[in-house]
Amino acid sequence: MDFTNLFKKDSVEEEIEINPEEFVTRAEFERLKRIVETHHEYLNNIYIFYDLQPTTFLKKMRKLSYELLKFFDNVCKKHNIEYWIDYGTLLGAIRHGGFIPWDDDLDVGMLRSDYNKLIEILPSELEQNNLTNLVAKIKVDKHNLKSKRWYQLSYKHPDVKGKFIGIDFFPYDYVNNYKGKNIESKYNAFLEEYYHNPDEYKLKKMLKKFYEEFNLTEQEDEYFIPGLENARGNLRQFSVYPFKVIPTNQVFPLTTIPFGPYDFKAPKDFISYIKDIYGNNYMQIPRKIRDHGRLNRFRKELNILEMLDEAIDMLVKANKNY
C-alpha cells in the first residue's frame, strides 16, 4: 500500500487564511459573559420576587395537569399504592409551589412492587371512568424504537397529534443487603448494554438479569436504586439525572407537599433528595432549561381552549367518583 499521499498537505487547507479580526478577544469574551450572567440574574430575581400571572391558555394547561395528577393520586389511594412526585415535578413544588414555569410534564417515582401493581390496575380505572382520551402504556424511546422505558399516562385529543400532558412513572428497586460499594460505573455499563443491543435484549429478560447482577429485591431494604427503565445514569440520550443509591429513610415514610391546588406525596427529606438530583443551587433558575415544546405547539392549535375545557371537565368528573 502506498502511504505517500497521506502525508501531503491538502490543497484546500493551504488556501485557508486566518483573519485575526474574526476572533473574539479575551476582553470581549469577558464582556459577553458578564451580559449573560446579568440576564441570568434578572430571570432569577423575576421568579423569586414577582408573582407572574399565566395566560388563559397556560392556566388551562396547568389545570388539566393538576387534575390528571389528582386522578392518579385517587387511584393510588384506592389501591394502596405508594408513590412520590419526582424530578421536575418535585423541584417545581419546592421552588415554585407548582409547575416549573416552562415545564409541561409530570414525574412520579415508586418502588417496583407498586409500579407493577399500577400497570396492572390503571387500564381498568380508565375504562371504569370512561376516560377514553387517556392512554396508559410503556414508553418506547424515540432514540431507539426497540427499547422500552418507563410507564406513562397521557392525555391525547383525537383531533391533535401528540399528547397534551402526561405522567412519567419511574420505577426504583431495593438493593438486598447493600454494603456501600460504588456501583455507578456498573449501572451505567448495564444501561449501555441494554440500550445499544435492543435486538438481543428485551426488557423482561434484562430486568431479570438486572435483578441478579445487582442483588435486587422487591422486599423493603435499607437502600434502593433507579430501575433499568428510570431516567438516571450517565448514558447519553437515555439518561438525564445522576445515578444515586438512595437511602430508604430519605424517602420513607412519605410526607406531602403542595403542588398547585392539591397536596401530593413527596420524599420525607425532600430537600436532600432534590439536592442529590439538581445540586445545592436547586432554588436558582438554571442557565440551561429543558422543555418538550408542547406548550408552544398546542398554543397555536385552533379551538385549543375549548379542547382543554373538555379535557378538564372530563377529569374533574372522574375525580368526583373517588
- Please write the tens of the pLDDT for every residue from 79-103: 999 999 999 999 999 999 999 888 8
Instruction: Indicate the Cα dihedral angle 45, 48, 53, 56, nearest 10°.
Output: 100
Distance CA 281, CA 154 (A): 31
On the question of pLDDT at 289 being above 80, the answer is: no
Q: How confident is the model at residue 112 (pLDDT cuts 50, 70, 90)?
A: very high
- Among candidates 310, 294, 314, which has minimal Cα distance to 68? 314
* Tens-digit pLDDT profile for residues 118-133: 999 999 999 999 998 9
Give the pLDDT of residue 270. Answer: 98
